[in-house]
Amino acid sequence: MTDYLPSYVQGEWRTPAADAKATDVRDASTGDVITRVSTEGLDLAGALEYARTIGHASLATLTFHQRAVLLKQFALALTERKDELYAVSARAGATKADSWVDIDGGIGVLFAYSGKGRRELPNSRVYVDGPVEPLSKDGSFLGRHIYTALPGVAVQINAFNFPVWGSLEKFAPAFLAGMPTLVKPATPTGYLAEAMVRILVESGLLPEGSVQLVSGSVPDLFENLRLGDLVGFTGSASTAESLRRHPSVQTGGVRFTAETDSINASVLGTDAVDGTPEFDAYVRQLVAEMTSKAGQKCTAIRRAIVPTGSADAVIAAVQARIADKTVLGDPRAEGVTMGPLASLAQRDEVLRQVRALQDAGGRLVIGTTDAPEVRLADGTTASAPDGAFVSPVLLRFDDAQADAVHGVEAFGPVSSLLTYDTTDEAAALVNRGGGSLVTSIATHDPAQAVELATRIAPFNGRMLLLDRDDARSSTGHGSPLPGLVHGGPGRAGGGEELGGIRAVLHHMQRTAVQGSPEMLTALTGVWHAGAAARAGDRHPFRKSLAELRIGDQIVSGSREVTLEDIETFAHFTGDTFYAHMDEESAAANPFFPGRVAHGYLLVSWAAGLFVDPEPGPVLANYGLENLRFITPVSPGDSIRVELTAKQITPRETDEYGEVRWDAVIRNQKDELVATYDVLTLVTKEPIAA
């Protein structure tokens, strides 16, 4: 590690010159100086402009799928060298289990968004949102909504507790959207974020300007932001509120999203008494959230809300589990399960907040605020005055309505126990937190779970319903997942991160577009009815992706449907529903003139009308989507089908891709019988004869 922690800006590593005002960053367990942090002489405005120009241009040449493939390659590069990150992470006070959450969890986000990008986004640069909006009777004027990448830079201001995961969970959706990132890690653990970024840079995989790192303070950051830029902030609610009031956000068009500390709750159901699986799961989860990362998690349980009659049993069980499972000490010592806080300043802040909770009526029932004896790196046990150690602490509030317990957060291994007598009281206590990232409910009673969940959902970004059926497979109260929203209302910041493709769209602009079918087809890469269609001599199923074009079409001949056909299909499939078999009952139905053909008979026949049966580029049909039956088909009617290449999506890592076909079935009167999309897998290149 260098004396000064470098920044990575404008394509190169830059270490500041000697700075008397530099901040010393210390080992969380020993107090030894690891590095010094300063941004003296850093051209922040130049870094932002470099992202907007060079970075944006390099990402704009890539499709969603190409970016998704790179995310997987980034994940593999970090996996190959993650032992280096684990070694650095220990200096921040993280145990191996803590580091797994941060490092492997961050890598997992890259893998998840790589998969989602290839499955859920088109292999293009424009994302189409929602259905077509017809704007004219003749179909010549249509409307659509599209998403395109914001033209600026995604600035992430991160907290100290998860320097790897916190960076990557913001980076992955921004990169997938096509937006370059500038990472500003928290100073106490910024050296771990630097090590992660260094691995990515040394991999040679990063598109130019797509990632930059600023190690140290950025006092003039917001003065250099403009319309098209985005800030993703993780940290305290007070800091978020201050940043949100900046003119660049208020009137300058800079997007600002915040995920802040919140007073999260966990409710023990009235049925989950001592000895039930739900009680045991609740205690395990509460202790895990108090001790994992030494309680330095924005999702940790700060309020344990339990039935009055279960309070003593919960305290006894938590105390026993902490005594049995928790070994406090230097993470590099064998057997340590809980490390120190990230810094001495953080230790002092946690103890100050514990005192505030005590002054408000909280009684220490587990733990102490005295300096603990800890296991040192050499395996001995002693005090460590230069280490940021705090024992797990549980306070009990006899007055569950005390304001402090719902508003003061000790961001460490600290939780407070509150009691309730009715479900209404429990819900009201949860909501007193003023908006939370997550609340969990441990109950096997569906009625109580539903009542609580519906009452507290508006005050939470996520809820976990914990019972005996999911306790073993549950990912836990405090674990945000890539596919689910991370964020919360009110005190929790009011923002959203993760949530699958939702987070990608946060880095894009949604725009309503009006135009002709031809223009919308050109813009979106999706064929629209009324745009040019080509029914040539060559069947489109004979064309590989290299030859097929949007709008290639086949119009079939007609086929008459007889009563014998309907009865044969009914008896062969077993579908003898009365609308197909009983003339009188069918005629009494308000939707049918009499006996009608099965919808699935028509879809089956349509396939027979449009399919080219010989081996060729089309490898498989893998589904239908958006199937709607419009006009019933009676015996004696005829059907024909129009099949048009609607969307072509090559796969970046395979020798084939997907083709979405627009299928329309019409009757002899040219009335619309059915519409749907046919999905096929097609080779990229022609198959040799």
Secondary structure, 3-state, 48-95: HHHHHHHHHHHHHCCCHHHHHHHHHHHHHHHHHCHHHHHHHHHCCCCC
Nearest CA-CA partner of 202 in 67, 188, 183, 194: 194
Residue whose tokens read 């997907």 = 658
Nearest CA-CA partner of 158 in 107, 103, 232, 230: 232
Residues 142, 146: Cα–Cα separation, whole Å:
13
Cross-strand bridge partners of residue 76: none
Cross-strand bridge partners of residue 231: 155, 256
Contact yes or no for 185/213 (Cβ under 8 A) = yes
Residues 672, 214: Cα–Cα separation, whole Å:
60
Tokens found for residue 587? 């005629």
Residues 552, 554: Cα–Cα separation, whole Å:
7
The C-alpha torsion from 535 through 539 and 544 to 545, rounded to 10°, is 30
Nearest CA-CA partner of 158 in 259, 40, 302, 295: 259
Nearest CA-CA partner of 680 in 625, 622, 627: 622
Helix axes 165-177, 190-203, angle to 10 degrees: 40
Active-site hit among 169, 278, 289, 298? 298
Active-site hit among 169, 194, 259, 642? 259
Annotation says 298 is catalytic = yes
Contact yes or no for 270/425 (Cβ under 8 A) = no
Nearest CA-CA partner of 169 in 505, 506, 507, 503: 503
Annotation says 12 is catalytic = no
Contact yes or no for 55/67 (Cβ under 8 A) = no
Nearest CA-CA partner of 258 in 275, 285, 238, 284: 238
- Look at strands 265-268 and 303-307 and give their pairing: parallel
The distance of Cα 645 from the centroid of its chain, to the nearest Å, equals: 32
The distance of Cα 290 from the centroid of its chain, to the nearest Å, equals: 24
Own/partner pairs, 629-633, CB within 8 angstroms, 24+ separation: 629/599, 629/602, 629/673, 629/674, 630/671, 630/672, 630/673, 630/674, 630/675, 631/667, 631/671, 631/672, 631/673, 632/591, 632/592, 632/593, 632/596, 632/597, 633/561, 633/596, 633/597, 633/602, 633/667, 633/673
Q: Considering Cα of 390, then 391, then 392, then 398, what sign does the dihedral take? A: negative
Catalytic residue IDs: 259, 298
